[in-house]
Structure 1
C-alpha cells in the first residue's frame, strides 16, 4: 500500500463548535506513516479539540477523518450505528496519552498497562503480563510494576500511561499536552521516552509547548490560532527567520 496515497491520518474540512463558539474551522492536514507532528498554538486555538476529535472523544460537526484506513465523514452529534462501529475500530488502532494521566488509582502500574489488552483485545491476563512488564521496562519503570499510582511521581505516572498506550500496539499515538502537568524536573524523563518512540518510527501527533522536543523530534510543526491552521512547516522553518510574524510572536512568549 502506498503510504503517500493512504496516510494513517487524513483530515479534510473538519469543523467543530461548542454552542456559538466555533473552535475548529475547516481543518485540512495529513500525517505520513512514521511522521511526528507537533501541534502548537495559544490557549483557545483549538489544539486539544483537534486532537480529541481524531479519536472521537469530541464529535466533529462536519468534515471527514480517516485514521488507519478507516474513514468517518460528517459524524455529527448523533452518529449512526455504523459510524459508532468505525469509531470503535479506530480506537483499537490508535492510543491517546492525556495531560492528567488517567490511570486507574485502584490498579498497580502493571495492571494499568495491561488493562486495555485484557478488556479491549480479549487477551488472557497471564499472556498479557509479560508484555506489560516488557513495556514498563521500555519506559524505565519495571521496578515500579507493583506500585499504585498514588505512590508514583507525575513523571512516572505519565510513563506508565505511555506504556499503557503502547500495549495496544497502536498505529498512531495522540498526545494531549503530556508534560503540562509536570514540574520541569520531571518533564525530561517523559520527553526522553517520547523521543525514543519518535526514533523508532512511531506515528505521533503531539499537542505541546515543549519547543526543545519540537526541534529535536518533530518532522513538522502545525501552528494553530482561532481554530485554523496558520502554519504547517518543518521545524527549521518554523523556528527560523522564515516563520510568519504570528509564529515568531508566539514563540517569543513560550521559548525555553
Structure 2
C-alpha cells in the first residue's frame, strides 16, 4: 500500500521515456470533459498523515476547506499517461486533473492563470510536484485549457472548492464555462437588498470610467443583486480594479466571465 500511494507523478523509478512530453497528433480538445465538483470520500490510497519525499516530510491537510495559494504550475503528460496515480487511479492526460503535495485526495480546486486570466477546475488525485518552486502539476489537458502547455509553466492562483459554501462551489462550476467569446467583468459584490446594490453602483459609476450594471440571480431561494463592472477587454485592467476595490473594502471583488 505504501508503494502504491507514492507511484504518482514524482518519486518514480526510472522510466523508459527519457523525458516527459506533450501528446503527438491531432486531438479534438472540445471533447475534454470539465471536472464536475462534488463531495467525495477520501481515497483509500494517497492520504497518509505524513510522508517523505527527497528527504523532506510533507503533512497531508485534514481538509481542503479554505485552501488558497499562489505559485508556479507545471504539467505532466505522456511519460505518466496510463500509470497509477497516488490515489490508485490511472493517470489520463486528457482529463482535468492535477497533482498536489498536501491537499487531500481527491479534492477539487479552481486554478487561475495569472498571466492570462484563464481559469479551470481540476480534480486533485495525485501527489507532486516535487520540483523546486512548483505548487501544482496539471494534467496536459488542464494546462492546454489554461494556455500554458507550450510555455510549460505559469503563475497561478489555487482556490479549493469548499462544499460547505455555495458561493465558492458555484463559482468553481462556472469556471469552465469561459470561452473565447465570454465577456470579462469585475463583480464587486452580491447583495440581498436592491437599494444597497443601487447605491454602490452609483458610486462606482461616478468613480470609474467603465459601464456598471446590476444583474440578479436566485441562490437557495433568495434573490441576490450583483454589481458588476464591464465588460473589460484586458485582464490586467480587471485585476487592477479588483486590487483597487479590495483596498477600499467595497464588497468582495472578483473577475467573472459571462
TM-score normalised by the shorter chain: which range applies?
A: under 0.3
What TM-score, normalized to structure 1?
0.22
Higher-RCO chain (CA-CA 8 Å, sequence separation at least 6): 1
What TM-score, normalized to structure 2?
0.22
Q: Name the larger-Rg structure.
A: 2
Structure with the larger helix share: 1
